[in-house]
Structure 1
Amino acid sequence: MFGLFRSLRGLAVVTRDINDSVKAHGRSVTRCPFPNAQLKSNLRFIRIKCIRSPVGGSVGGPGCCEPPGCRTKKRKRRLKRADGRHTGSTEVDGDDDDDGGEEEEEEGDFMEDSEVEELFQQQAPEGIAGGQHRVFVVQPDVKWGSRKQHLTTAELMMAEAVGLVNTLDSWRVVDKIVLSTKTPEKKRIFGKGNFQALTEKIRRTAGITAVFVNVERLSPLSEREFEEAWGVKVFDRYSVVLHIFRCNARTKEAKLQISLAEIPLLRSRLKNEMANMDQQGGGSRYIGGSGETLLEVQQRLLKEREMKIRSALEKLRKKRHLLRSQRKRSEFPIVSVLGYTNCGKTTLIKALTGDVGLQPRNQLFATLDVTVHAGQLPSRMTVLYVDTIGFLSQLPHQLIDSFSATLEDIKHSDLLVHVRDISHPETVNQKANVLNVLKNLEIPDRLTSSMIEVHNKTDLVDNYQSAEPDALPISALEERGLDELRQVVEDEIVNSTGKHILDLRVNLSTPQLSWLYKEAAVQDVQVNADDGSAVVKVIIGTAAYGRYRKLFVGR
């Protein structure tokens, strides 16, 4: 079974979680209606803790079903506010109101680092934390219809699927097969004959612990049938990518976004597990005197968990908005560097900025968080390069939606740079996927029309000749073609941000020249020794030019 649902160790664990939930709502539970053996064999979903406060109470108050220590945490946060130190969410909202009730509501929606980590570990799928898998990869080859891929081949899709598996340190591919199908929407995906042949091959292959069917998403019913037929865990593309994300998550925001993306999988698997229990007579029975079935209790708790994650992400979204506003006020142009996963975005930003702290990795989804790095253009204008999460084909919209807070930074850029791995055999298909994601994200036309396309990794292509005249050929690793790229970025920034190129006459006996060096991009200085003045050519923003005129013009 897919490992998002941990095996429960006995009746007491399940009973305790359900008791916590229903007691928090004024109900009593005398016993769990399911035999211990039945729970052990059928209930393999994770513990879903209740995060709802009782009516009229506050989170952490009497009757709250938060983990122990919740009230202590809330008390500490209130003391901090009394000392004049604000929490992150209060700073983000810019709310200096001392209304205790309002602040308490704000804090109830925010999650401490320890809470996020507990949630993240609680949902940890089997096979990631210390787990190992010997994987059999199955690539469906759709022969015709709307789902047929026209810009790639089944063999190239298989190569990417193998690459996804190999990204996980403890997983390795032991065998693989490309199998034709009319449509991947069928319950078993393949026809009866192909499915039987596949089943026999999997059973004959020694040591297999998992099968990866490289389709966007398997239905719970298909997944259950495959696992029963093959006797091993079955993963689809969505779950494997989530596994990779989980391994690479470092920040609170990344962990929250991954936890949110796992909710649909948890929900569909929960229904599947309950369907199994119904067949054995018991899944629809009520829990004590609560008036709810086990499925209804777990669905409610899962919904409450989802709401709390979304609320916490909204707080982080506001914080991002504040940081973007601060960057805008500094008048540093923002250049978002985007592209298909592992195309060399981080390597390029490191080459453009000289940031030694950046450590590019030859790995899919090495970057899950937006990071910002300052660099200089030929005019000495400072720009901020934003390193973004890599794109991938055939991902469900729920996964993209979960990372919307991160991808939102792209919308607020002054310029986009699309990096392509021109050495990759699927570079054309990858470009199409990136453009499709940008379309789905509703990126403004002003950004897509001015987007710079960069052909990276030309050092891996013999006698490279671009078929696209507007694309810039570079090698980020060997730092070739970067000067031309910087110049094109500068030209587009000047056009898109409305910066002015001016010749200003300054008095060298005043701080005008030093001010311009600090606040603008000085291009040239022509000194007139006769009168102690100079003509300075600058690139300057509207706000900075307004400050310059206020300080120095007419004095």
Structure 2
Amino acid sequence: MSVLVNSLKRRVHAWSWKLCHLQCGQLTNVQQASIQTSHAEKLKLPRAVQMATYMRHAGLKLCVISRSFSSTRCLFKGNRNRTDHTKATKEDDDDDDVESDEGDEDVIEDSEVDELFEQFAPTAVGHGDHRVFIVHPDVKWGNKKQYLTTAELQMAEAVGLVQTLQNWTVVDKIIMSTKTPEKRKIFGKGNFQTLTEKIRKTTGITAVFVNVERLSPSAERELQEAWGVKVFDRYTVVLHIFRRNARTKEAKLQISLDEIPLLRSSLKNEVANLDQQGGGSRYIMGSGETAMEVQQRLLRERELKIRATLERLRRKRHLLRSQRKNKEFPTVSVMGYTNCGKTTLIKALTGDAGLQPKDQLFATLDVTVHAGQLPSRMTVLYVDTIGFLSQLPHRLIDSFSATLEDVAHSELIIHVRDINHPETVYQKANVLNVLKNLQIPDRLMSSIIEVHNKVDLISEYQPTEPDCLPISALKEIGLEDLSHKVEEGILKSTGKQIMCLKVDLSSPQLGWLYKEATVQEVEAGGDDCMATVKVIISGAAYGRYRKLFHNA
């Protein structure tokens, strides 16, 4: 079957090369495309090529159509030999081994995704460099008003999002009052006219970032027509940051899945434009499908393939969790608002020199696991997770629910707060709200260890909540107290106990305890053959010990 598919693919590309001499400049309407189609029919080209010819000049690329006949190249194959920026134990490092991952070859290659977006969604995804004008709609009253923050602080976060993207610069910004930030008409007539005049008078801008969670397609289109530049919302800006920062296959697939709705809306607009020219609903070469139907089918097939691959990766993640449970390695999930210092803290707790924290939003998108030791010498695994953000679209959170499953299965959660940030209370509320939406078990929510990071930046720190731990991950202040607190929480959540066992040194008992439990100290007795061993051991391991060594 693969031989037949590859043969068809070669024929399509060969015939497309022969059609090059037929092109007569940039064809922009269906009538010109029909002229090319008639030439193709006269040459008696294969149906696949005739279809591709029409679709190319109606707005679709040949590669997209050829993928409907042949999808044999691997997703992100260019990244297979790339060394990751950290030496962490990544759960995705062996993705290629999950059930052979043969189905991954049916997913469109990363370069082709880029090509598809450049052709059909240039206003939806922020490729390239941009000089950005930021507009923050400020709700003065009502149930949409944010009481834990200010418009100025929200604007500062929007500036931070733009500056996270390489070669994106903020040219100007404005806070504009509104009553209806979620409706199609965000601003009143007077404010909108003032805003439009200011944007059009500002020279050199290439895009406007409206700092709302999501613009409707119609609102986005109207704003672009009024302002004459690309318009982004938080969804598209954050999605673009995700695309640039994602490194593992799973993260890239999840982001590709989130891009599909953007493609659907953009392709719908393309076909609407064709309909105005009288050709958008035309059937293609007797295939029984219109241009719109072909586009939607291709996206539907792509979505199914991505979801199938993600499900395989989800099963692998479940297997890895089971292996950790079998080895009785407790896991601690480190969570918090983006750029609060999670990676810096894990590096300080584990001594993992391979970790390279970055002072930027969403530097971590891929779940990584790092081994460390507690004061009792018990091995613990710290899980570094994606940072949260206020007004992060629910769809983006949902797409990362697979990687965040590790949080629900951990023994303990550390909530890291940037206590020096002016929005620290607002950020805490957002993190706890996301954890609630992820349906984290009550046992975990009730045992969260809250740490106040970056206390070294505060001249006179005063704790604002009971039971919180003041630390500085960068200066390694307060880490000993945190380690003891983590150890206490692990012992409570896992049911492990500290025991003193009499061990016969002439038997394999001591070696077994070193392997299956955490040996804290060994004290030799009066008899050279006996010793008292202090261990941390689980109930299951102690049961196996009693069964193996009957005299224990």
TM-score range, shorter chain: 0.7 to 0.9
Q: Is the 8 A contact 2:95 2:249 kept in 1?
A: no
Q: Which amino acid counterpart does residue 334 of structure 1 have in structure 2?
A: T
The residue correspondences of 1:300-449 to structure 2 (distance < 5 A) are: 300-449=297-446
Q: Is the 8 A contact 1:267 1:299 kept in 2?
A: yes
Q: Deviations for 1:33-76, whole angstroms, at most 9, x for unmatched residues?
A: 7995xx5xxx4899645766xxxxxxxxxxxx124779xx9xxx
**Over aligned residue pairs, what C-alpha RMSD do you find?**
3.1
In 2, Cα distance between the equivalents of 1:462 and 1:9? 64
Q: Structure 1 pair 229/44, CA: closer, same or farther in 2 (3 Å)?
A: farther
Q: Is the 8 A contact 2:254 2:399 kept in 1?
A: yes
Q: Deviations for 1:100-137, whole angstroms, at most 9, x for unmatched residues?
A: xxx9xx83x3338x954345544556698982110000
Using the TM superposition, give the Cα deviation of residue 266 of structure 1 relative to its aligned residue in structure 2, in angstroms.
Answer: 1.1
Q: Structure 1 pair 254/68, CA: closer, same or farther in 2 (3 Å)?
A: closer
Q: In the alignment, what sits opposite 1:550?
A: 547
Q: In the alignment, what sits opposite 1:117?
A: 110
The residue correspondences of 1:376-525 to structure 2 (distance < 5 A) are: 376-525=373-522
Using the TM superposition, give the Cα deviation of residue 498 of structure 1 relative to its aligned residue in structure 2, in angstroms.
Answer: 1.1
* TM-score (normalised: structure 2): 0.83
Q: Deviations for 1:324-367, whole angstroms, at most 9, x for unmatched residues?
A: 11111110001110111111000000000000000000011111
SS in 2 for 1:526: strand
Using the TM superposition, give the Cα deviation of residue 30 of structure 1 relative to its aligned residue in structure 2, in angstroms.
Answer: 6.5
Using the TM superposition, give the Cα deviation of residue 174 of structure 1 relative to its aligned residue in structure 2, in angstroms.
Answer: 0.5
SS in 1 for 2:403: helix
Q: Is the 8 A contact 1:277 1:283 kept in 2?
A: yes
The residue correspondences of 1:75-474 to structure 2 (distance < 5 A) are: 92=98, 107=102, 109-111=103-105, 116-122=109-115, 131-474=128-471
Using the TM superposition, give the Cα deviation of residue 269 of structure 1 relative to its aligned residue in structure 2, in angstroms.
Answer: 1.8
Using the TM superposition, give the Cα deviation of residue 509 of structure 1 relative to its aligned residue in structure 2, in angstroms.
Answer: 3.0
Q: Deviations for 1:71-101, whole angstroms, at most 9, x for unmatched residues?
A: xx9xxxxxxxxxxxxxx789645xxxxxxxx
Using the TM superposition, give the Cα deviation of residue 512 of structure 1 relative to its aligned residue in structure 2, in angstroms.
Answer: 2.5
Q: Which amino acid counterpart does residue 117 of structure 1 have in structure 2?
A: D
In 1, Cα distance between the equivalents of 2:551 and 2:55? 86
Q: Is the 8 A contact 1:145 1:183 kept in 2?
A: no
SS in 1 for 2:369: strand
Structure 1, 527-536 or 197-206: larger mean CA deviation: 527-536
Q: Is the 8 A contact 1:31 1:288 kept in 2?
A: no
SS in 2 for 1:450: coil
In 2, Cα distance between the equivalents of 1:472 and 1:457? 11
Q: Is the 8 A contact 1:29 1:290 kept in 2?
A: no
Q: Which amino acid counterpart does residue 219 of structure 2 have in structure 1?
A: S
Q: Which amino acid counterpart does residue 111 of structure 1 have in structure 2?
A: E
Q: Is the 8 A contact 1:50 1:301 kept in 2?
A: no
Structure 1, 401-410 or 234-243: larger mean CA deviation: 401-410
Identity of aligned residues (%): 68
Q: Structure 1 pair 196/169, CA: closer, same or farther in 2 (3 Å)?
A: same
In 1, Cα distance between the equivalents of 2:62 and 2:473? 44
Q: Which amino acid counterpart does residue 415 of structure 1 have in structure 2?
A: L
Q: Structure 1 pair 46/249, CA: closer, same or farther in 2 (3 Å)?
A: farther
In 1, Cα distance between the equivalents of 2:60 and 2:148? 40
SS in 2 for 1:352: helix
Q: In the alignment, what sits opposite 1:76?
A: none
SS in 1 for 2:270: helix
SS in 1 for 2:105: coil
Q: Is the 8 A contact 1:46 1:122 kept in 2?
A: no
Q: Structure 1 pair 124/267, CA: closer, same or farther in 2 (3 Å)?
A: closer
Q: Deviations for 1:120-162, whole angstroms, at most 9, x for unmatched residues?
A: 5445566989821100000000122322212111111100000
SS in 2 for 1:385: strand
Q: Deviations for 1:214-269, whole angstroms, at most 9, x for unmatched residues?
A: 11011111111111111111111000001111111111111111100111111122
Structure 1, 311-320 or 543-552: larger mean CA deviation: 543-552
In 2, Cα distance between the equivalents of 1:329 and 1:192? 64
Q: Which amino acid counterpart does residue 375 of structure 1 have in structure 2?
A: G
Q: Which amino acid counterpart does residue 110 of structure 1 have in structure 2?
A: D
Q: Structure 1 pair 35/375, CA: closer, same or farther in 2 (3 Å)?
A: closer
In 2, Cα distance between the equivalents of 1:142 and 1:223? 20
Q: Is the 8 A contact 2:339 2:359 kept in 1?
A: yes
1:66 is the counterpart of 2:60: no
Using the TM superposition, give the Cα deviation of residue 468 of structure 1 relative to its aligned residue in structure 2, in angstroms.
Answer: 0.3
Q: Which amino acid counterpart does residue 276 of structure 1 have in structure 2?
A: N
Q: In the alignment, what sits opposite 2:12?
A: none
Using the TM superposition, give the Cα deviation of residue 531 of structure 1 relative to its aligned residue in structure 2, in angstroms.
Answer: 5.8
Q: Residue 533 of structure 1 is aligned with which of 530, 533, 542?
A: 530
* TM-score (normalised: structure 1): 0.82
Q: Structure 1 pair 111/497, CA: closer, same or farther in 2 (3 Å)?
A: farther
Q: Is the 8 A contact 1:116 1:252 kept in 2?
A: no
SS in 1 for 2:370: strand
SS in 2 for 1:212: strand
Q: Structure 1 pair 408/504, CA: closer, same or farther in 2 (3 Å)?
A: same
Q: In the alignment, what sits opposite 2:5?
A: none
Q: Is the 8 A contact 1:141 1:178 kept in 2?
A: yes
Q: Deviations for 1:163-185, whole angstroms, at most 9, x for unmatched residues?
A: 00000111000000000001112
Structure 1, gaps ≥5 residues long: 1-7, 20-24, 53-64, 74-87, 94-102
Q: Which amino acid counterpart does residue 476 of structure 2 have in structure 1?
A: E
Q: Structure 1 pair 92/67, CA: closer, same or farther in 2 (3 Å)?
A: closer
Q: Structure 1 pair 407/124, CA: closer, same or farther in 2 (3 Å)?
A: farther
